[in-house]
Structure 1
Amino acid sequence: MQHIEQAGIHSGDSACVIPAFSLSESILAEITRAAKDLARELDVKGLMNIQFAVKDEQLYVIEVNPRASRTVPFVSKAIGVPLAKLAAKIMVGHKLADLGFTETIIPPHYSVKEAVFPWNRFPGIDIVLGPEMRSTGEVMGLDADWGMAYAKAQISAFNPLPTSGNVFLSVSDRDKAAAVQIARDLVELGFEIYSTGGTQARLTAEGIPCHRLYKLSEQARPTVIDAMKNGDVHFIINTPSSHESREDEVKIRSGAIAMKISHATNLAAAEASVKAIRSLKNQELTVKSIQEYHGM
């Protein structure tokens, strides 16, 4: 199961995908080998939860827990196997061979888990994710196309992605280089880009058309909030400029919740959203039951 957001965001708050969508074959093989070695060394019988991190094709272990986790039901639905039931039988002496579960299952479809947050119950709260878990539930999207599966998960998580309109894109200095391709893709998909000064300057320098909006602290009009209130913003990509977010950034992100504007607060989610929007524009959204996906 591959997380979409980078390490540093609590695993319970991060969206994730089965099967992995961007890991190399060598890293997948190394993860499999390391997981088996850890299970043998710890003498685990039943379920075990491992969190790995990958940087520059180097594998790291974040933590290992000899227990089940909240993702077990998601994985079970994704692959069509009742893992908790099988694990309980293993713990009381049954063998995997006796239970008919001896091979890794790689489903032919993508399953995306997305966290659900109680932001609307806390007006004015900053919705940026971090190491502290803040979600209160999970939803799931399935499709043969991973972009469409992500789009379905966003719909279920009350953050439906638009297929046209205007995008407000304003990111921290460390994210500006990576945001250029996201902006270029959005323009290619037919969106108009609106940004504050620093981001607009970078996008303009890269040849990407971009309209200027002002920060609240600049005391000029139109501000980002003006555009949001007027219904001129349909998707927001806003990453924090520092650990302690500026006051106007918090108002933008909390305003997105209050005004029910779709949003992404990190570039990994923004990149996934672009893929999902492309899928929504190029394909028909269809619905099938989990039983149909597993031929039941």
Structure 2
Amino acid sequence: MGGQTALNLAVSLADSGALDRLGVRLIGASLPAIRAAEDRQLFKQAMNRIGLKTPPSGIGTTLEECLVIAEDIGEFPLIVGPAFTLGGTGGGIAYNRSEFEDICRAGLAASHTRQVLIEKSLLGWKEYELDVMRDMADNVVMICSIENIDPMGVHTGDSITVAPTETLTDKEYQRLRDYSVAIIREIGVECGGSNVQFAVNPADGEEVIEMNPRVSRSSATASKATGFPIAKMAAKLSVGYTLDQIPNDITKKTPASFEPSIDHVVTKRAKDNVWGYGRAQ
């Protein structure tokens, strides 16, 4: 198993004491790193420590707490995002109180920790993702930058995306690159790949949306676009290799510590599983 399922399973096994009892050590993303990235409150605190902006938000563990947070933010629409879920499960955009209550109930039920993040809407902002990789010697490389054609409000998994980014200025890209390196270090992913998501509005600057301490659907796009096998490299890094010790799969001459550079554009679009519709009840 990989992705969000593996993270949730690792946390559950650690909380139950099974890992300690059986002498199992997590490699790659450690338990504190998983918690720091997936726990909405811990992530917000981590971003504050390194001076990065996140949307005004609050953490709710009950419907009553969620309603208080909504009043504090002061306006709809609001984004509801459960912690420890995959592909936006249980979350959504609420345009009024009735929708907000329904989404919060679904989010609390779906969350591994019964925790939802309620944040100010950034609908219409541009959305970008950067896939980064770190080794145990603290070398960090940028694998690929990805731009969502659809603005904020359409989940990344459902959006048409393009690699590399097309509408960032060089200064904007360099800032997001620096932020991504700072984030993977602050969260504490010792080695492996991570996916960092940003919202950008030229009039307001950049804000951090979230960071996944794992490979994602976007990571698959990044691997195909650059030829850099993120999952394979992450596995090697987790057993002790450093990026400069692993040969690049494409050139066979340079090490993986050389950041990929592409001279083409790769586009990903979501695909509906139409074959499943006939069996839906």
TM-score (norm 2): 0.41
Bigger Rg, structure 1 or 2: 1
TM-score (norm 1): 0.39
